[in-house]
Structure 1
């Protein structure tokens, strides 16, 4: 026998962790637990103070100019197409010209079907606008983006509601409601 201490036998390819390695692993785990406890305590403290506080750097809670706030809201809610069509209703005379705008007014927009409904003040203008619909559709999609409006539905003038007699069925519009 020799006076040298016996060295631990190593198995092929695997080394048993030494005491220093185990201490490092335990220290790392203790640090992570301390960080987690500190973060929980910090959140609890902020909740008592009334929520998060803003620091020197900008974040999502900082005030925005009105235009930027509205643009962000429109983008978050997915209202780009309806907002664009709403802008068309405001700029209708510039898009179609003053003569057409005097006799035809956009009345509604169906977002799902992408149909713009335009009401005319006479049947003659409704016929004229139906003939101009492909050119108007092209102009609108150039201004709003491709595919925003797929179809333009042109309606003539609405007639007055006929109300004959004192006794009527609730919801009826007059004698024409039974004939179609």
Structure 2
């Protein structure tokens, strides 16, 4: 079945036929009848204020950096605290330094209190003495108010109490580290 354009222009093929069809459509639309305004062509339905361009000044409709959008999304959904915790645990060695990170590990952050596990009692004591400097480094690394207090634990000692009968007393003494 032949279209109207093919009947009108039987000698044209391919792109020439497409050009002729486009020209015929343009000629048909510019004839008499209701004339469309520029606003109708652009899709304006009457609310001019909604479709204005933002102009040279920054506007909320302008393209935004992905980081800004992600931080706004996290703040809106209440994920800021969890993201700060993840950032602290992921960047622990960069925040506190390589020497401290080699001998310590963050365990849990709950209600602003960070629990740190040290490999020896000597390192646990050293961290307790450096508590203010560590809090300042953490605040600079992940933000103020994320960590307000440190709880430093020494190494976990094995339990010497086995069985049903026990003898009272302190048991074997060792620093385990």
Structure 1, unmatched stretches of 5+, are 1-65, 169-173
Which residue does the alignment assign to 1:83? 83
Which of the pair has the greater relative contact order for Cα pairs under 8 Å at 6+ separation?
Answer: 2
> Which position in structure 1 is the counterpart of 2:125?
127
Shift of residue 144, structure 1, vs aligned partner: 1.9
Secondary structure of the structure 1 residue equivalent to 2:130: helix
- Structure 1, 155-164 or 84-93: larger mean CA deviation: 155-164
Q: Cα deviation per residue 1:83-119 (whole Å; 9 max; x = unaligned)?
A: 1121111111111111111111000000x3x111111
| Distance in 1 between residues matched to 2:167 and 2:67, nearest whole Å | 51
Structure 2 equivalent of residue 21 of structure 1: none
Using structure 1 for the length normalisation, give the TM-score. 0.49
Match of 1:97 in 2: 97
SS of the equivalent of 1:128 reads helix
Runs (4+) of structure 1 moved beyond 2 Å? 66-77
TM-score normalized by structure 2? Answer: 0.50
Output the aligned Cα RMSD. Answer: 3.0
Number of corresponding residues: 104
**Structure 2 portions without partners, runs of 5+:** 1-65, 169-177
Whether 1:154 and 2:152 are equivalent positions in the alignment is: yes
